[in-house]
Structure 1
C-alpha cells in the first residue's frame, strides 16, 4: 500500500516540537517509557525523502538449514556518518539536550527500519547485544503509517501496546532493554509503510 498522508499534518517542512510534553510511564524493575505523539511535524515529507535517499538493504540470517531475508529493510548510520536529512541531526541534538543529564552521555548513532507492509516485522528483543549497561536509552521516531509497537517483561507477561506513526516519539529508558522486550508484529490488516528511526548512545544495539 502507498502511504496515506496524515490529514492533521500539513507542514511545509519537517519540524520538531518541544520535548517538554513527553509523558512518562514507569514499568517494572527500573524500566520506563516516554511517549510524545506528533513530536515531528511534516513527518510524511521526511518519510518520502528517506524512502528515496536512504541506501536500504535486506539483512539475512540463518534459519534452520537455510538463509532467509529479515522481514524489513534496514540501514545504520555510525558515528560521524552524515545523516540523510538535517532534521535528523536536529532530532539527535534535541534528544541529547533533553535526556543527556539523565542518560549521562549523548545519542550518537541512528538506525532505521523500513516496514513496507504488514508482512514486515521485528520479533521480541531488547537492544542489549552491544555494550551491556544497567541503564540506557533508545529513542524511536516513527514515520509513515501507524504500526503497533509492543512491550512486555522479559520472559513473557502481559504486553503494552503503542500505535506509533506520523512523527510520534517513544523513548525506552532505565533498564528497559535488559528487563523488557519490544516487537513490531506482523498484521493481516492492510497497512501502509512505516519507517522507524532509532537514536542510540555509543555501543548500544
Structure 2
C-alpha cells in the first residue's frame, strides 16, 4: 500500500524533486544509540549468504553478502537469481515500523546488503523489476561505514551523489527507478563494514 508521498512525516527533511523522480534524505533518521544497536544485531542475527550470478559463461560471486526477508509468499528475482524470503525477525520489523511512518508506505519485504570493506560494491542498476510495480517506493536504511551512493539519469546522464552514513534513511519515489540507475562504487579507502537495507513492496 503506497500513500501520499507529500504528506508530513516525522522529520524536518523535505522531498527533493528531480527530473523523473523524487527522493527524501534524512542523514540522522536513527540516533547513534539506535544505529549502533541495529548494526550489531543485524551483523550477528541475519542469515547472510554469498550469492552468485552467471556472466560470460562464468559463475561470479556477488561482491557483497545478501539476505532477503519478508512475507512468506513474496519471492524476488534479480540478476538471474530467485530469492525466497526468510521470516521477519524482531529487528527488521522494528526498523520497518519506524520508516513506514516517514515513507507513508507499508512494506512487505527487505533486501539486505552487507559491504565488508571497500572492495564490496554494487554496480549501476535500477530497482524496477516487474514484482515492484509502477513507480515503486524504495526505502534505503544504512548502518555502519559511510559510503558514496550515486544516481545517474539513463538518458541525460545527470548525476547525483549522496553520502549514506550510520543511521541514515533515503527514500526514493515517483518515476525514479524507471529513469535513474544507482550504485555504491568500490573505494580504495580503508572503510569498515556497512549494512544496507532496502525495504520494498512486492506486488
Task: Give, in whole Å, the separation in 2 of the partners of 1:158 and 1:26.
Answer: 14
The aligned runs of 1:59-98 (5 Å cut-off) are 59-79=51-71, 82-86=87-91, 88-98=92-102
The aligned runs of 1:48-67 (5 Å cut-off) are 48-67=40-59
Task: Give, in whole Å, the separation in 2 of the partners of 1:135 and 1:128.
Answer: 8
- What CA deviation, in whole Å up to 9, does each residue of 1:165-185 have, x standing for no partner? 210000010011111111000
Among 99, 103, 124, the alignment partner of 1:99 is 103
**CA separation of 1:161/1:200 partners in 2, compared to 1, >3 Å: closer, same or farther?**
same
Equivalent residues of 1:95, 1:107 under 8 A apart: no
Equivalent residues of 1:72, 1:114 under 8 A apart: yes
Corresponding residue of 2:75: none
Kindly tell me the number of residue pairs found equivalent between the two proteins: 180
The aligned runs of 1:108-187 (5 Å cut-off) are 108-131=108-131, 133-155=133-155, 157-187=157-187
Please list every run of 5 or more consecutive structure 2 residues that lacks an aligned counterpart in the other structure.
Answer: 1-8, 73-85
Equivalent residues of 1:19, 1:39 under 8 A apart: no
SS of the residue 2:11 aligns to:
helix
Task: Give, in whole Å, the separation in 2 of the partners of 1:132 and 1:93.
Answer: 20
Corresponding residue of 2:81: none
- Answering whether residue 22 of structure 2 is matched by residue 32 of structure 1, we say yes
SS of the residue 1:89 aligns to:
helix
- What CA deviation, in whole Å up to 9, does each residue of 1:21-55 have, x standing for no partner? 233211102x0110011111221221121111111
Task: Give, in whole Å, the separation in 2 of the partners of 1:37 and 1:71.
Answer: 25
Equivalent residues of 2:128, 2:136 under 8 A apart: no
Please list every run of 5 or more consecutive structure 1 residues that lacks an aligned counterpart in the other structure.
Answer: 1-17
SS of the residue 2:15 aligns to:
strand
Alpha-carbon distance, 1:91 to partner: 2.9
Q: Given the two structures, how large is their TM-score scaled by the length of structure 1?
A: 0.81
